[in-house]
Amino acid sequence: MDLKELYQEIILEHGKNPKNLGKFENFNKDAKGNNPLCGDKVHIYLKTDENKKISDIKFEGEGCAITMASTSIMTELMKEKSETEVKELIDDFLNMIKENSELKSKNINEDDKIKLMSLSGVKKYPMRVKCATLPWHTLISAMSNKPGEVNTEKEE
Amino acid sequence: MNINNIKKQFPIFNNKVHNNDLVYLDSANSSQKPQMVVDRIYDFYTKEFSNVGRSVHYLAVAATNLYENTRIMMQKYINAKDPNEIVFTKGATEAINLVANTFGQKFLREGDEILLTELEHHSNYVPWHYLRKLKGVKINFAEINNDGEITIESIEKSITPKTKMIAITHLSNVTGAILPIKEITSLAHSKNIPILIDGCQGAPHLKLDMQDIDCDFYAISCHKMYGPTGLGVLYAKKKWLDTLPPYQGGGGMIREVKKEGISFGDLPNKYEAGTMATAQVIAFGESIKFLNQIGIENIEKHESELTKYGEEVLRKNNSVKLVGNPKNKGSVLSFTLDGIHAHDIATILDEDGVAIRAGHHCCQILHDKLGLSATARASLGVYNTKDDLDKLNESINKCKKIFDR
Ligand SMILES: Cc1ncc(COP(=O)(O)O)c(C=O)c1O
């Protein structure tokens, strides 16, 4: 039963056909994330406009269905969001995955909430939580344009 | 050999995993432990515990004898000339670090080369990598062929006049390729190059005879040989242990310690500084007994039949691609599934109690070469059965069902 919760249709769909896969020319921020235990890798590219709004976001990467789906869903959600909104969403998502709480953000609609909640199945699979959180940590790093790579084994 | 009886000797199989019988296919990572090994650890701590080699009381003398007895059992098991050629370490990783560090210190200079292969585990690359920075040595990698094998020709091609050490695996923990280590050793020696064999995957499955192989160093991981964790063995020819400098410093490995200077103890103490993994060493004696009771020839035969069966079953399954196709293959079945990442496979299999490993298996160089970021790996031990491989195949089919929804 838990497996069905983990591999919900939304996840399989995004995992197989991830949105925003690729790279674009005029990005102004980017960051790489790596989960060395699994070999999952993501490279996130951002374009932020003068108001610090994300005007475009894409990613390159390879990994398990969870990593790919999480990155795909995240990139869809972040388009046209302001810096503060992005930060709030990241916090909200990471809290939901790690601390078992609901999503609190008022900046997302019901559809998006359902998509994000579909990733909460990883809670029952502690070894897989990192797969879901990798792109989110990588996005934090891209936003702050920190040099170096996000490494799931160096966190916390 | 009655296989069902062997499984019965491993208490882990009395447990359920997610309400299923355990199908343990991760022995290349670490093997399960027979009851006699588990009991030996318990008995030693409850009835016989003492530190070894330091006190004259009854328990210390008895423990020292037990500890040294495992050394002699190991010497016989691998047919080393002298018990002092057996050094206990914390694992194969430490055994290789010991050689890289001490050999590097004494014999390597800038521009010297070390020859590894593309099949090596990180444990047989990273310790040598330190010498790049420390000594300016160069590391070369003998290339695999399309079947994921290392041939003698590939080694021969990569040897240069500057090669000062060859360090290669006995059996690949990914493709399962068994390397022609006897021939490679003889080639190395014909050019006056010493050779280290990473025997982690060889020792639990193949008959070992150090006189026949004639290698200079052979590194063993006891936890993959039905023994306790925290223990490895370095076999090294005595001439090396006599000439190389000590590795770690501390108690037990010294002869005399003065403010002005220190002299070091004799073998085997020279390389066993500090309190060693006493209980593990003593319990490892039981692992050797266990292997001898079944007979390594019987284990080889059983595992080789199972490997062939596993290959057959997986080849028939159209969505499975086996990684590597070596002619001489150990009991490792690495594979990929179209459209399903290794980690998703491992999670789904786990739900059925089927324990495999997913990832690069500490072999990034090899995975880069194969163009794969991760593979799934089923690896066998003495307790596995054809039934285990059928269950593996069933669970693989379940992965497809879940992903093809
Ligand atoms: C080929 C190979 N070399 C080295 C090692 C490391 O051995 P240990 O765990 O004893 O340090 C392993 C085990 O993971 C291995 O498979």
The DSSP annotation for A82-100 comes to: BHHHHHHHHHHHHHHHHH-
To the nearest whole Å, the CA of A146 is away from the closest chain B CA by: 25
Q: Which residues of B are catalytic?
A: 362
Beta-strand runs (E) in A1-156: 29-35, 40-48, 54-62, 149-151
Which atom belonging to ligand 1 lies closest to the Cα atom of B221?
A: 10
With residue B36 as reference, give the H or E element that holds it.
Answer: helix B35-43
Which structural domains are found in chain B, ordered by start? 3-30+295-404 (3.90.1150.10), 38-292 (3.40.640.10)
Question: Which of B29, B351, B373 is the best mutation test for A, with the most CBs of A within 10 A?
Answer: B373
Work out the average pLDDT over A16-34: 93
To the nearest whole Å, the CA of B375 is away from the closest chain A CA by: 10
Work out the average pLDDT over B256-285: 94
pLDDT at A123 over 90: no
Ligand 1: which of B27, B96, B121 to mutate, judged by most atoms within 8 Å of the beta carbon?
Answer: B121
> Could you report the per-residue pLDDT of A67-101, keeping only the tens digit for each?
999 999 999 999 999 999 999 999 999 999 988 67
* Residue of chain B with shortest Cα separation from A2: B351
Predicted local distance difference test score (pLDDT) of residue A36: 78
Peptide bond into B326 cis (omega under 30): no
Q: How many CA atoms lie within 13 A of B135 on its CB side?
A: 24
- Find out whether the beta carbon of B201 lies less than 6 Å from any atom of ligand 1: yes
Q: Tell if the CB–CB gap between B403 and A63 is shorter than 8 Å.
A: no
pLDDT at A140 over 50: yes
Q: Tell if the CB–CB gap between A2 and B340 is shorter than 8 Å.
A: no
Taking the complete model, does pTM exceed 0.90, yes or no? Answer: yes
Q: Tell if the CB–CB gap between B344 and A125 is shorter than 8 Å.
A: no
Report the distance separating Cα B333 and Cα B109, nearest Å: 40
Which atom belonging to ligand 1 lies closest to the Cα atom of B362?
A: 14
To the nearest whole Å, the CA of B399 is away from the closest chain A CA by: 10
Which structural domains are found in chain A, ordered by start? 3-150 (3.90.1010.10)
- Find out whether the beta carbon of B379 lies less than 6 Å from any atom of ligand 1: no
Contacting residues of B for A66, CB less than 8 Å apart: 343-344
Q: Tell if the CB–CB gap between B374 and A39 is shorter than 8 Å.
A: yes
Residue position matching structure tokens 């050797």: B288
pLDDT at A156 over 50: no
Confidence of residue A1 (pLDDT cuts 50, 70, 90): low
- Ramachandran assignment for B106, one of left (phi > 0), alpha (psi -120 to 50 degrees), beta (any other): alpha
pLDDT at B197 over 70: yes
Confidence of residue B201 (pLDDT cuts 50, 70, 90): very high
Predicted local distance difference test score (pLDDT) of residue A3: 86
What spacing in Å lies between the alpha carbon of B199 and ligand 1's midpoint?
9
- Find out whether the beta carbon of B92 lies less than 6 Å from any atom of ligand 1: yes
- Find out whether the beta carbon of B285 lies less than 6 Å from any atom of ligand 1: no
What spacing in Å lies between the alpha carbon of B224 and ligand 1's midpoint?
8
Mean pLDDT over the full length of chain A: 88
Question: Which of A3, A8, A9 is the best mutation test for B, with the most CBs of B within 10 A?
Answer: A3
